[in-house]
Amino acid sequence: MKSVQKALLGRKVGMTQVFGEGGQAMAVTVILAGPCYVVQRRSTKKEGYDALQLGYEEVPAKRLNKPRAGHLRRAAQQAQADIPTLRHLAEFRFADCDAYPVGAKLEAGLFAVGETVDVTAISKGKGFAGVQKRHGFSGGPGSHGSMSHRRPASGGATDAARTFPGTRKPGHMGSVRTTVKRLRVQMVDAERGLLAVYGGVPGPSGGLVMVISPAAPAAKASREGK
């Protein structure tokens, strides 16, 4: 898992448009980001790596199973912090974990206009799909008499008596974890907890998303003598 500068869990609200300084219309996706709470700290000494576990979406305690409720209760007691009962938990390897103690509340104001973020979510499920829709095949001849308008062609070698892994065929499409990278933050409404990012993000409206600002890659050491 790559380290991140900052991250939030949220819900996809939907798409709209905003207007830039020159009057140009830009399609944006609005995300209800946070508030998230730091529930647990992973340390190199104990777990072998540094990370923070974030919790999102406060719900009544009766909505959680006993292991989840007990985990949140113990976290609040150990940190002597006010951590509500939260539906979703996710772990991120923050580059600076010391900046966010257990019990800290992270909100949309964590991000700024102009930043580039990665958004991860479960894509929309589209059910069973053929090769043209699923893989973008061009299809067969469209004239009369052809019996292979949308069918896949040869499935590969015939002497192997099996289909090789990775062969593109009809099957279930969508409903997979997807990440759209380098989306620009166009608007931040810290009071209402809203972010607007340029372009589309995976998943349906109301779906759970992760907004991540990746950490800058470490500089590679130059080779001397070359």
Q: Which amino acid is at 213?
A: S
Q: Percent helix, strand and coil across the chain, each rounded to 5?
A: 10, 40, 45
What gap in Å lies between CA 105 and CA 164, rounded to an integer?
A: 49
Report the pLDDT averaged over residues 113-132.
Answer: 93
pLDDT at 88 over 80: yes
Distance of CA 63 to the CA centre of its chain: 24
Q: Which residue has the tokens 């053929």?
A: 130
**Better-predicted residue by pLDDT, 163 or 91:** 91
Report the pLDDT averaged over residues 73-78.
Answer: 86
Paired tokens of 50: 């540094």
Residue 201 has what pLDDT?
A: 93
Residue 141 has what pLDDT?
A: 85
- pTM of model > 0.75: yes
Residue 77 has what pLDDT?
A: 85
pLDDT at 134 over 90: yes
Query: pLDDT tens digits, residue range 193-216?
Result: 999 999 999 999 999 999 998 876
pLDDT at 222 over 70: no
pLDDT at 24 over 70: yes
**pLDDT band at 226; cut points 50, 70, 90:** very low
**Better-predicted residue by pLDDT, 156 or 22:** 22
Paired tokens of 12: 């996809």
Return the CA Rg of the chain. Answer: 23
What gap in Å lies between CA 174 and CA 39, rounded to an integer?
A: 31
> For 124, which DSSP code?
P
What is the residue extent of each domain of the chain?
A: 3-135+168-213
What is 3-135+168-213's CATH topology?
Answer: Elongation Factor Tu (Ef-tu); domain 3 (2.40.30)
Question: What torsion do the CA atoms of 201, 29, 198, 134 make, to the nearest 10 degrees?
Answer: 30
The three-class DSSP label of residue 164 is coil
What gap in Å lies between CA 210 and CA 202, rounded to an integer?
A: 10
- Taking a C-beta distance cutoff of 8 angstroms, is the pair 111, 188 a contact? yes
Report the pLDDT averaged over residues 39-65.
Answer: 89
What gap in Å lies between CA 114 and CA 43, rounded to an integer?
A: 32
Query: pLDDT tens digits, residue range 165-181?
Result: 888 889 999 999 999 99
Report the pLDDT averaged over residues 148-158.
Answer: 78
